[in-house]
Structure 1
């Protein structure tokens, strides 16, 4: 099974935790009572505070887990959320340092999702008043800034893109998420899917974007999240995935099959689970025969499970992620999906 970082693993095997940093400096505290604590007491209190901080970083990296969850998973493993409220966001136009030679408009958006302010880059093609729009989800470890290379290519085709920051930079830990699931708390992957749904809501509210022509595109692990988001948002016309595949939990081993909770959770995060509910949205898969992270065989198994309408295109580069040779297929399918 592929983790977000591309390594093979089984569900609920050991997956390394991503390194986290709270980014906060310890503040000095002065007691108002005038009582001076002894040095050993101060040291002990300091040590306990450090332990609490480390525990919080390891077990609550997204800032969202630990609260009562508002999601449901069916016995078959299908994830659902309650109806979303109207999006709350702010917008600021910024300098386009990623493609200064272009005449695109670039904006920094901040929107609320699951108790967190999420930032995203909105790229609007030049001289466009009502562009079709795409939520663009990077692969694990890729920031919204790095993903602007593909966003620029999409802008040249005439598409606005909203590229959000992904929690934990898109990296996941299946073991830890399963522990949250069993405790009735929201796994990080669920939160990331919800963030993608909120991003689609925010994109639809932008005055330069046509809310009737929206789709979602994801690379690698972002493609997995994109399939779930598209299946859960009927307003999206289609999903395009680049260098991605499902986990294959429909062929679960006996250990997984004998654990109903493990089965439900693993199915709930597997894009292969959602193909029955995805239509009429179109599924498009673009993959390399020589992908260095997710094998072409895995991609073929996922495509075989997808329902019509669907399309698959293959390239030959020995790489993972978007390449220039994929552009004609991307342009063709976007024109069909968002016509």
Structure 2
């Protein structure tokens, strides 16, 4: 079922919004201690409006190795293990290329939900391959889990929060995917589930070369609904804005924003997803399913196939 893009917005109290933010921390938070002794020359900054930005990215450095497809051996796809450099670290990813792919194949950066590895996301990668899309599936830092309180401490100390590193990893992944000989660098999109959807939205807003973003079972935090006049800790408020996908929605166009969400999602309520969708600008689309679960389901496939065809045509 498709919801029209003229959905009404339901304001939520600030206390509820921040409460939801810290619930997510409780669900997904795993303490991560970055070294911050990074070798790649890069600066990052956050504007007064809470917008994250990076200096120009350096060229991609990566290794690539063809491997056996243990996850879908019956398919004739080509599977490659890629290790690429990002902010002084090595990020591992699986590149799945459909059989008979040419240099004009569209590509999708695939971001799993928290706790899910690149291997665990190959079921969806295979579905996308059947639709004709190559995928680069990342092992996100902390497997997509976040620790907002720890990142706020880093931010206050002028050290790079892990969530910023995770956004930058997606941008580097786009560079790596675009450089592959089977891929059309002009036809790239990003797709994320749950926490992966949050990073997908921010990365797409920061990289205009991406044609669109699809978020499955995800939402923003609603930080923009807090009255700035009521804020007593301006630095914390600016940090929360910088990690909230809702902050970046007006920077997405002309890239398309698509949400797919279950009315009965067991982790992120449909109401929260609807709020994020309501404040997004056109072009956008939202589709709803009914399963009592969280993440991609087979009933979402027709919507996913339709929207990817529109985004990457």
TM-score norm. by structure 1 comes to 0.82
Matches within 5 A, 1:162-177: 162-177=136-151
8 Å Cα contact 1:69/1:186 also seen in 2 = no
**Aligned CA distance change for structure 1 residues 298 and 157 (closer, same or farther; 3 Å):** same
- Which residue does 2:3 correspond to in 1? none
- Which residue does 2:292 correspond to in 1? 318
Matches within 5 A, 1:163-202: 163-202=137-176
8 Å Cα contact 2:38/2:88 also seen in 1 = no
Indicate whether 1:273 and 2:227 are aligned: no
Indicate whether 1:76 and 2:49 are aligned: yes
93, 102, 122: which is aligned to 2:75? 102
**Aligned CA distance change for structure 1 residues 119 and 14 (closer, same or farther; 3 Å):** closer
Stretches of structure 2 lacking an aligned partner (at least 5 in a row): 1-11, 13-17
Matches within 5 A, 1:136-285: 136-252=110-226, 257-285=231-259
8 Å Cα contact 1:13/1:175 also seen in 2 = no
8 Å Cα contact 1:15/1:175 also seen in 2 = no
Deviation string for 1:158-181 (max 9, x for gaps)? Answer: 000001111111111110000000
Distance (Å, rounded) in 2 between the aligned partners of 1:224 and 1:131 = 26
Distance (Å, rounded) in 1 between the aligned partners of 2:212 and 2:296 = 18
**Aligned CA distance change for structure 1 residues 150 and 195 (closer, same or farther; 3 Å):** same
Of residues 8-17 and 172-181 in structure 1, the stretch that sits farther from structure 2 once superposed is 8-17
8 Å Cα contact 2:111/2:196 also seen in 1 = yes
**Aligned CA distance change for structure 1 residues 271 and 59 (closer, same or farther; 3 Å):** closer
- Computing the radius of gyration from Cα coordinates, the structure with the larger value is 1
> Looking at both structures, which has the greater relative contact order when contacts are Cα pairs under 8 Å and sequence separation is at least 6?
2
Indicate whether 1:90 and 2:74 are aligned: no
8 Å Cα contact 2:259/2:287 also seen in 1 = yes
TM-score norm. by structure 2 comes to 0.89
8 Å Cα contact 1:12/1:178 also seen in 2 = no
Deviation string for 1:38-71 (max 9, x for gaps)? Answer: xxxxxxxxxxxxxxxxxxxx662x4447999721
SS of the equivalent of 1:275 reads helix
Distance (Å, rounded) in 2 between the aligned partners of 1:238 and 1:154 = 15
Structure 1 residue 16: Cα displacement: 8.0
8 Å Cα contact 1:11/1:266 also seen in 2 = no
Distance (Å, rounded) in 1 between the aligned partners of 2:231 and 2:58 = 36
Distance (Å, rounded) in 2 between the aligned partners of 1:160 and 1:14 = 32
Deviation string for 1:103-151 (max 9, x for gaps)? Answer: 0000000100011011100000001113100000000000000000000
8 Å Cα contact 2:25/2:146 also seen in 1 = no
Distance (Å, rounded) in 2 between the aligned partners of 1:65 and 1:239 = 32
Distance (Å, rounded) in 2 between the aligned partners of 1:136 and 1:13 = 21
